[in-house]
Amino acid sequence: MEKIVVSGQQKLSGEVAISGAKNAVLPIIVATLLTEDQCTLYDVPHLADVQTISEVLQSLGAGVNYHGHTMVIDGAGVSQTEAPYEYVQKMRASVLIMGPLLARFGKVNLSMPGGCAIGTRPIDLHLKGLELLGATIHIDEDGVHAESDGRLKGNDIFLRVPSVGATENLMMAASLAEGCTRIENAAEEPEIVDLANMLNAMGADIRGAGTSMIRINGVPRLHGAAHTIIPDRIEAGSYLLAGAITKSRIKVTNCIAEHLRPVLDKIIESGAEVIVNEEAMTVEVIGGEHILPVDIKTMPYPGFPTDMQSQFMAYMCMAEGASHFTETIFENRFMHVDELRKMGANIQIDGKNAFVNGVPSLYGADVKATDLRAGAALLIAALAAQGETTIGQLHHLDRGYEDLIGKFRQLGAKIQRVEM
pLDDT of residue 253: 98
Topology annotation, domain 22-228: UDP-n-acetylglucosamine1-carboxyvinyl-transferase; Chain (3.65.10)
How far is the CA of 385 from the CAs of 247, 305, 314, 347, 376, in angstroms? 12, 25, 11, 16, 14
pLDDT at 118 over 50: no
Taking alpha carbons only, the member of 231, 172, 195, 189 closest to residue 22 is 231
Examine the pLDDT at 195 and tell me if it is beyond 90. yes
Binding site residues, as ranges?
A: 22-23, 92, 121-125, 307, 329
According to the CATH classification, is domain 2-19+231-419 in 3.65.10.10?
Answer: yes
The full set of domain ranges for the chain reads: 2-19+231-419, 22-228
Question: pLDDT digit string (tens) for 197-240?
Answer: 999 999 999 999 999 999 999 999 999 999 999 999 999 999 99
Residue 122 pLDDT > 80, yes or no?
no
pLDDT at 144: 86
pTM of the model: 0.96
Domains 2-19+231-419 and 22-228 share a fold: yes
Residue 78 CA to residue 61 CA, distance in Å, equals: 4
Are 345 and 317 in contact, with CB atoms under 8 Å apart?
yes
The residues annotated as belonging to the active site are 116
**383-412: pLDDT as tens digits:** 999 999 999 999 989 999 999 999 999 999
pLDDT at 20 over 90: yes
Average pLDDT over residues 80-107: 87
Q: What is the DSSP secondary-structure string of 275-340?
A: EEETTTTEEEEE--SSPPP--EEB-STTSB-GGGHHHHHHHHTTSSSEEEEE--S-TT--THHHHH
Closest by CA to 400, choosing from 5, 19, 122, 57, is 19
Helix (H, G, I), strand (E, B) or coil at 54: helix
In this predicted structure, which of 8-22, 137-151, 337-351 has the lowest mean pLDDT? Answer: 137-151
3-state secondary structure 330-348: CCCCCCHHHHHHHCCCEEE
Residue 155 has pLDDT above 80, yes or no: yes
Q: What is the mean pLDDT of residues 62-82?
A: 96
User: Are the beta carbons of 222 and 176 closer than 8 angstroms?
Assistant: yes
Q: Report helix, strand or coil for 53.
A: helix
Cis check for the bond before 122: say yes or no (omega within 30 of 0): no
